Amino acid sequence: MAATTTRTPRWTTSSFGARLAKSGTEALKSYQQSYVQINEFLGFVLQMAAQIERTEETFRKVSADVADILPDLARRNEVEWKGPFQELKRHRQFLLEVLLVRHVENYLNYLSSLLRTILIARPETLRSSEKIDLEVVFRHSTIEDLVKTVAERKVDSLSYASFGDLATYFKDKFGITLVSDHAMKVLVEAIECRNISVHNRCIVNQRYQSRVSEAKYTVGQLRSLGVDHLEEVALVLITSAIAVDRSAKKRLGIKGVKFGSAAP
């Protein structure tokens, strides 16, 4: 008997082809768990649609065979069956927006968590000309508690900054590059897609136009999404997170842990 060969898929829904890290900071561990969960949800939806498709095909074949006995059952075959994949296609934009928003939020949350870890582990990096009210100082019984509060304030303030400002802060303060120039364009556009999806039903607005270089959509147009675009964004984000995490451990001595399964 000839050996059976199994075709290797171009990507798996859990990782989109990315090689996940086996160790890193707690921030990266949480990021990868969520990354896998988001992609596995897409895989679940596709598998469920495929199962419904196969079940319906079997039902129609059986109902045709028993048409003489169960005419009411056979009449169902007369209704045009479009199938779950047609429904998925109809709702593609909505589904991909949800997945894209979750991927972007997961990445930005990772950066905030890593920044919090760095500032608490290396409090000397908090040195600046910023002033702290004495009232805030006296509310804390230890220096460690004060450092945590100041770190949280810094994280909160940077979370409202543009991604460009955040990238500049990491580079100037810690010597860590978040993304390459090409990846920066992909990431900034993904963040702006997230913004118009959440606030404008994914309709391009003036802010999107002003922040996305080489924008292919005009104001008032729907920013249409595809699986290839989602895959590109997901890979840029996971690649950046893993590289940034390694830099933080190497440059700043941030402790890491070994990961178990990346799945939640």
pLDDT in tens, 167-205: 999 999 999 999 999 899 999 999 999 999 999 999 999
Q: Which residues contact 27 (CB under 8 A, 6 or more apart)?
A: 110, 113, 114, 116, 117, 245
- Calculate Rg over the CA atoms of the chain: 25
What pLDDT sits at residue 67? 59
Whether residue 93 contacts residue 202, with contact meaning beta carbons closer than 8 Å, is answered with yes
What pLDDT sits at residue 162? 86
Higher pLDDT, 123 or 70: 123
Query: Is it the case that residue 4 has pLDDT exceeding 70?
Result: no
Q: Which residues contact 142 (CB under 8 A, 6 or more apart)?
A: none
pLDDT in tens, 30-48: 999 999 999 999 988 888 8
- Which pTM does this prediction carry? 0.81
Least confident residue range of 13-22, 52-61, 80-89, 134-143: 52-61
Whether residue 21 contacts residue 28, with contact meaning beta carbons closer than 8 Å, is answered with yes
pLDDT in tens, 220-235: 999 999 989 999 999 9
The residues facing 24 across adjacent strands are 257
- Mapped to the 3 state alphabet, what secondary structure does 74-134 carry? HHHHHCCCCCHHHHHHHCHHHHHHHHHHHHHHHHHHHHHHHHHHHHHHCHHHHCCCCCCCH
Burial class, 246, CB count within 10 angstroms (exposed 0-12 / middle 13-18 / buried 19+): middle
Helix (H), strand (E) at residue 171: helix 163-174
The residues facing 222 across adjacent strands are 203
Could you tell me which of 40, 48, 24, 47 has the C-alpha nearest to residue 264?
40
List the chain domain ranges: 23-251
CA-to-CA dists, residue 198 to 88, 105, 156, 187, 208, angstroms: 21, 11, 20, 17, 13
* Percentages (nearest 5) of helix, strand, coil residues in the chain: 65, 0, 30
